[in-house]
């Protein structure tokens, strides 16, 4: 393999640039030409492809977002769009791909290989940390720390005004961001999609705390929780506990931005090099990951179809520490 392409796809996450840098530098180290593909599969279809060198990846390791940009592509979801993408790669002589993204990115790469035989090795780039086959995903640590910083500030105003704050964090269908935010932020309750948390339980917990002369509370809500979003949950609780002053904060996309932490820079650098070396080893349709501090490769089909389970001990920890 003499020429590869690298692209970022799906939601951006802090550390993607560090991963791009690692892919570029590892390619040069191994004597491979590397091409950047702008705007993910959308740019692949449209031919937004350019050659990268060591200078292309200079001074980006500390930057959030992605210098290659990211986009959704309806065209790539069609056979005609994938055919056009293949022709663009052929024109540039690209023999393999490094995909930095999540399960949607890997699903597209899997189908692309089945149709045109272009091997892809993926790096897990998502703040949600919901991909099977790795303990942590690129951007997760930064997102948690960003959210936790905001929660600490909200705790100050909650204490000052005797309020209960319902704070919604991102994570799509996963509670991986919510749980460390709840434990690290000293929350009384955490609500995540993986487990059912009834409104009655929330009301009873807050009422019990209030009866023990506790006057401020933090409830962390993962955005995909079955009970609803933070606004809906707060309204239901306020109806049952009208004497409590309930407020809602939705942290939103602030969690996706910012300079990556040292942990994310380290992980992204490892993953970028592992992707390039995986292609050189003949790997295809696999994601590089770290499990128990060891480098592993997991088939895309497993990362897409298998669930990454939450450790129930963490939920118990929230209950114990909220007493």
Cα distance between residue 4 and residue 92, in whole Å? 9
Instruction: Count other C-beta atoms under 10 Å from residue 177's C-beta.
Output: 28
130 given a catalytic annotation: no
Residue 294 assigned to a binding site: no
Cα distance between residue 167 and residue 142, in whole Å? 18
Helix (H, G, I), strand (E, B) or coil at 3: strand
Residue 212 assigned to a binding site: yes
Indicate the CATH number for domain 3-139+260-305: 3.40.50.450
| Shared fold status for 3-139+260-305 and 142-256 | yes
Give me the residue label for tokens 């560090």: 18
What kind and span of H or E run contains 180? helix 178-184
Q: Nearest to residue 52, comparing CAs of 38, 70, 73?
A: 38
First vs last C-alpha separation in the chain: 59
Q: Identify the active-site residue in 128, 130, 225, 264.
A: 128
Q: Hey, where are the domains in the chain?
A: 3-139+260-305, 142-256
Residue 46 assigned to a binding site: no
Q: Nearest to residue 266, comparing CAs of 293, 300, 299?
A: 293
Cα distance between residue 156 and residue 132, in whole Å? 36
Which architecture characterizes domain 142-256 according to CATH?
Answer: 3-Layer(aba) Sandwich (3.40)
In this predicted structure, what is the pLDDT of residue 322?
Answer: 87
Could you list the pLDDT tens digit for every one of the 323 residues in the chain?
999 999 999 999 999 999 999 999 999 999 999 999 999 999 999 999 999 999 999 999 999 999 999 998 999 999 999 999 999 999 999 999 999 999 999 999 999 999 999 999 999 999 999 999 999 999 999 999 999 999 999 999 999 999 999 999 999 899 999 999 999 999 999 999 999 999 999 999 999 999 999 999 999 999 999 999 999 999 999 999 999 999 999 999 999 999 999 999 999 999 999 999 999 999 999 999 999 999 999 999 999 999 999 999 999 999 999 88
Residue 296 assigned to a binding site: no
pTM score: 0.96
Residue 214 assigned to a binding site: yes
Cα distance between residue 314 and residue 195, in whole Å? 12
Is residue 319 within 8 A of residue 305, CB to CB? The reply is no
Residue 223 assigned to a binding site: yes
């Amino acid at each position: 393999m003499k020429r590869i392409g690298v692209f970022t796809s799906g939601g951006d996450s802090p550390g993607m640039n560090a991963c791009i840098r690692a892919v570029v530098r590892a390619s040069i180290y191994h004597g491979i030409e590397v091409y950047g593909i702008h705007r993910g599969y959308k740019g692949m279809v449209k031919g937004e492809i350019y050659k990268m060198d060591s200078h292309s990846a200079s001074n980006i390791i500390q930057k959030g977002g992605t210098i290659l940009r990211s986009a959704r592509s309806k065209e790539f979801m069609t056979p005609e769009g994938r055919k056009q993408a293949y022709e663009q790669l052929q024109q540039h002589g690209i023999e393999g791909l490094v995909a930095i993204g999540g399960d949607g990115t890997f699903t597209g790469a899997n189908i692309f290989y089945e149709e045109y035989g272009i091997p892809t090795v993926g790096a897990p780039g998502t703040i949600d940390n919901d991909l099977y086959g790795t303990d942590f995903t690129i951007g997760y640590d930064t997102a948690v720390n960003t959210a936790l910083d905001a929660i600490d500030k909200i705790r100050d105003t909650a204490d000052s005004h005797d309020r209960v704050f319902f704070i919604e964090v991102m994570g799509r269908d996963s509670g991986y961001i919510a749980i460390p935010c709840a434990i690290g932020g000293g929350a009384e309750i955490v609500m995540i999609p993986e487990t059912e948390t009834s409104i009655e339980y929330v009301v009873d917990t807050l009422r019990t705390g209030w009866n023990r002369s506790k006057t401020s509370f933090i409830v962390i809500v993962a955005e995909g929780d079955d009970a609803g979003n933070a606004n809906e949950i707060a309204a239901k609780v306020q109806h049952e506990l009208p004497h409590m002053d309930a407020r809602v904060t939705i942290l939103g996309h602030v969690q996706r931005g910012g300079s990556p932490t040292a942990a994310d820079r380290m992980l992204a650098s490892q993953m970028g090099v592992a992707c390039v070396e995986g292609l050189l080893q003949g790997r295809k349709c696999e994601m590089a990951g770290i499990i128990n501090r060891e480098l592993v490769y997991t088939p895309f089909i497993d990362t897409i179809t298998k669930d990454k389970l939450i450790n129930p001990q963490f939920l118990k920890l929230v209950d114990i520490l909220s007493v």
